[in-house]
Structure 1
Amino acid sequence: MAMDTLRPCGDFRSSYGADQTIFTTRLTLAFLIGGIALLALAPLFLSNYFLSLLIQIGYLGIAALGLNILVGFSGQISIGHAVFYGFGGFASVFLAEHGVPVPIAIVLAGLWTTAVGLLFGIPAARVKGLYLAIATLAAQFILQDFFVRAEWFTGGTHGAIAPPFEIFGYDMSGDQRYFYVVLVFVVVMYLFATNLMRTRDGRALIAVRDHYLSAEMMGVNLTKYRTMAFGISSFYAGIGGALYAHYIGYMSVEGLDILFSIQFLAMIIIGGLGSVMGSLLGTIFMVLLPEMTGALASALQGSAIDKALHLKDGITYMREMLIGAVIILFLIFEPDGLAHRWRQIKAYWKLYPFSY
């Protein structure tokens, strides 16, 4: 064999830039571009039902990514994410009602939610563990009560009507049009988060998560980065909530309870803590879970199992039980989430047919 045909084998990375690159191969980049292009064609061949599921995955995936930055990348627990999601929705509706164009109102709502998140993040940054969980639980109930009482901002118990999304005078309401709005936000927000983790600040957040004492000895300001994580997480939650409000056309305090916050935690646990892609995978799983549950109940309708368990009447409770059961099963059998499983699948095919 000629020497000029030999190629080096192995993984050679001689710089931080090569180690932190987003796309390890050109094929990875091609798959991403192809996937986005395929999604851009989805309104041409998917029904409104499937488009609504994709839209739901989009705005919930943005909010879940924010929680993953806080919990998965910086190691801080939060069980009040739903109220920041709701605050973003109410803020965007409030701004739009006062003459701010909806696209700008969505971004400003994210910044407004960031300010609220920093307000709760400053005291919470000085505690950790169980005490931090209690602090975020307090934020859940404080903001939830605020939504009910602040009629000037939220409409109180009646809620608020959200104006449709318009850009340059073109109405983007409706599943087929609004899908593109959510797709653009998803791509931008996920690319921003991926690049953030490659920066000095992103590595500092991970250092705080892995060993905060060592990070502090290296000069990392723990209070600064813990508070920053709360701000970034709130920004993502606010954007997701604003997109939800203008898609539904209505924003209400109903549904912004502790159970919704736990569902956000389930998304990132199932998808994979500390994984940008895992946030989206977990959201897809949690959005499709009730749909699959409903389809299963419909398939078993009239059967002996249906008569014994009353599936049609108890479908809501089954969904709540399934969420808890799925979290437990993933913690036991797949603690690193779906993202870890996906990496293992890629590694298997990369090394196939060899076992090493």
Structure 2
Amino acid sequence: MFYREAGQFKTSYAADQQIFPIRQDRVGMALLLAIAYGVVPLIGNDYWFTAIMIPFLILSLAALGLNILTGYAGQLSLGTAGFMAVGAFAAYNFILRIPEMPFLLAFVLAGLTAALVGILFGLPSLRIKGFYLAVATLAAQFFIEWALIKFGWFTNYSPSGVIDAQTMTLFGFALDTPLEKYLLTLTIVSVLALAAKNLMRCETGRAFMAIRDMDVAAEVIGIPMLKTKLLAFAISSFYCGVAGALYAYAYLGTVEPQAFDLNRSFQVLFMIIIGGMGSILGSFLGAAFITLLPILLNVVAHAVFGGAVRTAILSNLELVIFGGLIIFFLAVEPHGLARLWHIAKEKLRLWPFPY
């Protein structure tokens, strides 16, 4: 009743092939963007933008990049944070060393640089897969961290290795307030998310999924392994590189290798596992679960217990509850939160009739 496509007739191929063919999806996406662009800036404050919305959007973009590689193409990777670091340092050096470099162009070039590095470390995927490929990409994580620390050129020979990110500018205007950074991040993430949604519906996305499901059969029907796997690494690394540049400039305000350590790679991997592998929506749901739920638990714990319990005990209790909820959701639905949303839509198609 609420989510039923009966009566929605298509009169052209363009209408049948649009990104959101069902009217409810189009209306829902329009409302979501209206809230993100119109309501959140009005009711939000600097804490909302700096500590909640900006990191959520950036990590959603990184999770989306990993989901393209792991969820859609079936290539397990543990080097996500390394590719994010490549994007962050590439953007810094492009802006530093090329006069009058536009920030948006620097972010695109940073993503392309990360894509080249991703292709280089994606070469082992032609001979190995599964956990062995994960170890190969883990080597990429360690190598990138070592190179950024070892060679001072990347950090402009900073003694500490931590450098202040340049002030972002757009069409000559400085983006120095949390609201402006939030709107820029939201725009970039929205465009790239829609591009990924469209990519997965075309021939390239179908080739990714064919390799994920059975690579031998995909090769038999004519899908080139070399081109397709390296393309998956390139696109995934591009998304992670742009996310790394945004993480350094819109969130941290500094460019440092420590922000892109192995823990960050595991964090992004957990996002797509919890949210749902092979799902654009799952990347956002997983990022929301990982980044927003601890904040909610912290607020609830302090509201319930107040000063009656020591802060250290509350912090440990939050971690215990957070870990328990992760296990619970994975036990209830191993395919992630996106699968729960899909089941809910199927039920709405039949309501109020019996199942």
Give me the TM-score of the superposition, normalised by structure 1: 0.88
1:191 and 1:301 map into 2 onto residues whose CA distance is 43
The answer to whether the 8 A contact 2:54-2:182 is kept is: yes
CA positional deviation for 1:281: 1.0
Q: Is residue 49 of structure 1 aligned with residue 47 of structure 2?
A: yes
The answer to whether the 8 A contact 1:59-1:182 is kept is: yes
- Count of residues in Structure 1 that have an aligned counterpart in Structure 2: 343
Superposed CA offset, 1:114-136 (max 9, x none): 01111101123321012101101
Q: Is residue 35 of structure 1 aligned with residue 28 of structure 2?
A: no
Q: Tell me which residue corresponds to 1:130.
A: 131
Q: Is residue 311 of structure 1 aligned with residue 308 of structure 2?
A: no
Of the three residues 255, 280, 287, the one matched with 2:284 is: 280
Q: Tell me which residue corresponds to 1:3.
A: none
The answer to whether the 8 A contact 1:266-1:327 is kept is: no
Q: Give 1:104-183 correspondences, 5 Å limit.
A: 104-154=105-155, 155=158, 157-183=160-186
The answer to whether the 8 A contact 1:110-1:238 is kept is: yes
Instruction: List gaps (5 residues or longer) in structure 2.
Output: none
CA positional deviation for 1:326: 4.7
User: What secondary structure does 2:313 align onto?
Assistant: coil
User: What secondary structure does 1:158 align onto?
Assistant: coil
Superposed CA offset, 1:308-343 (max 9, x none): x9425647xx54x66655544333221111111111
Distance 1:326 1:135, change over 3 A: farther
CA positional deviation for 1:173: 2.0
Of the three residues 161, 184, 187, the one matched with 1:184 is: 187
Distance 1:71 1:20, change over 3 A: farther
The answer to whether the 8 A contact 1:272-1:340 is kept is: yes
Q: Which amino acid aligns with 2:45?
A: S
Of the three residues 218, 222, 225, the one matched with 1:219 is: 222
Q: Which amino acid aligns with 1:76?
A: Q
The answer to whether the 8 A contact 1:271-1:281 is kept is: yes
User: What secondary structure does 1:123 align onto?
Assistant: helix
Superposed CA offset, 1:120-156 (max 9, x none): 0112332101210110111111111112112211347
Q: Is residue 263 of structure 1 aligned with residue 262 of structure 2?
A: no
Distance 1:323 1:107, change over 3 A: farther
Q: Which amino acid aligns with 2:79?
A: G
CA positional deviation for 1:217: 0.7
2:114 and 2:45 map into 1 onto residues whose CA distance is 34
2:186 and 2:315 map into 1 onto residues whose CA distance is 35
User: What secondary structure does 1:288 align onto?
Assistant: helix
Distance 1:64 1:30, change over 3 A: same
Q: Which amino acid aligns with 1:331?
A: L
Q: Is residue 81 of structure 1 aligned with residue 80 of structure 2?
A: yes
Give me the TM-score of the superposition, normalised by structure 2: 0.89
Of the three residues 252, 255, 270, the one matched with 1:251 is: 255
The answer to whether the 8 A contact 2:294-2:322 is kept is: no
Q: Which amino acid aligns with 1:235?
A: F
Percent sequence identity over aligned pairs: 40
Stretch of structure 1 that moved more, 34-43 or 149-158: 149-158
Instruction: List gaps (5 residues or longer) in structure 1.
Output: 1-7
CA positional deviation for 1:55: 1.4
Q: Is residue 60 of structure 1 aligned with residue 59 of structure 2?
A: yes
Superposed CA offset, 1:67-107 (max 9, x none): 00011001111111111111111111111112222221111
2:324 and 2:137 map into 1 onto residues whose CA distance is 24
2:220 and 2:159 map into 1 onto residues whose CA distance is 48
The answer to whether the 8 A contact 2:56-2:292 is kept is: no
2:20 and 2:228 map into 1 onto residues whose CA distance is 27
The answer to whether the 8 A contact 2:111-2:238 is kept is: yes
Stretch of structure 1 that moved more, 107-116 or 17-26: 17-26
2:325 and 2:72 map into 1 onto residues whose CA distance is 22
